[in-house]
């Protein structure tokens, strides 16, 4: 029991520490340099790390709570964009400031989508249903359901 509890706390701490150390090194090296907005390669890297964390932490043997682990991964994704890139991304060749709550929400959806492809057995049925409902809702809002 003690080992399982320590794994539950250790994985998010290690994940957070990794990003914290990257951020500290970045800040040290570029103390007076303007942070660049996150480009596609940056976002792909953070996404890949997030889905890897999500799939590894929720696999059999670890059995961490999927929604909580998803929340840690998506919050970390948004936090890195906020801290390392000043909350700015490049999308469609334009720099834009993003709302961190919206970014976290979108990151959550993208991480679930990837988890359904990469580690579908780890994704609870309830989360999969919620994902399908949200993606349909977003399609309707964007007029893509036609």
Token duo for residue 38 = 């996150």
Low-confidence ranges of the chain (pLDDT < 50): 1-3, 5, 30-31
Q: What is the pLDDT of residue 33?
A: 55
Q: What is the pLDDT of residue 26?
A: 53
Helix (H, G, I), strand (E, B) or coil at 36: coil
> Could you tell me the pTM of the whole model?
0.72
Domain count, the chain: 1
* Cβ atoms 58, 69 nearer than 8 A: yes
Q: What is the pLDDT of residue 2?
A: 47
Rounded Cα distance, 89 and 40, in Å: 8
Q: What is the pLDDT of residue 28?
A: 54
Q: What is the pLDDT of residue 140?
A: 84
The residue segments making up the domain with residue 6 are: 2-142
């Amino acid at each position: 029991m003690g080992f399982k509890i320590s794994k539950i706390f250790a994985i998010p701490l290690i994940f957070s520490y990794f990003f914290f150390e990257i951020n500290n090194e970045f800040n040290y090296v570029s103390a007076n340099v303007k942070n660049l907005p996150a480009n596609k390669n940056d976002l792909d890297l953070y996404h890949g790390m997030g889905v890897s964390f999500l799939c590894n932490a929720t696999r059999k043997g670890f059995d961490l709570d999927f929604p909580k682990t998803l929340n840690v991964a998506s919050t970390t994704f948004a936090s890195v964009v906020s801290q390392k890139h000043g909350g700015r991304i490049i999308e469609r060749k334009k720099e834009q400031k993003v709302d961190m709550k919206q970014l976290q929400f979108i990151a959550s959806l993208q991480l679930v989508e990837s988890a359904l492809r990469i580690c579908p057995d780890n994704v609870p049925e309830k989360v999969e249903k919620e994902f399908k409902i949200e993606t349909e809702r977003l399609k309707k809002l964007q007029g893509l359901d036609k």
